[in-house]
Amino acid sequence: MERRGVYEDIAGFCFCAKLDDIKEHGYVLTPGLFVGAEDEEDDGVPFEEKFAVLKERLEAQFADGDELQSEILAQLKKIS
């Protein structure tokens, strides 16, 4: 088998664990134990501002989900 390029561990994406590493973790292969998380760039926006925007977006998505669920249930009642 021909190998292309050079392998490199990438935080948050891939990690080549050695058997000793796996043994050390009790043979648990949860990705977070090995792969970790990608380093996040600081965009200068304070956490509080980001959180407020994300919370607002999530609440809107929950509302949309509730509407869709109601519509699906209504359509199911029509056919059953």
Enumerate the domain spans of the chain: 1-40, 41-80
Is pLDDT at 65 greater than 90 in this prediction? yes
Q: What is the mean pLDDT of residues 27-54?
A: 88
Res. 48 pLDDT band, cuts 50 70 90: very high
Q: What is the 3-state secondary structure (H, E, C) of 23-67?
A: HHCCCCCCHHHHCCCCCCCCCCCCHHHHHHHHHHHHHHHHHHHHH
From CA 22, how far away is CA 18, in angstroms rounded? 7
What is the model's pLDDT at position 1? 60
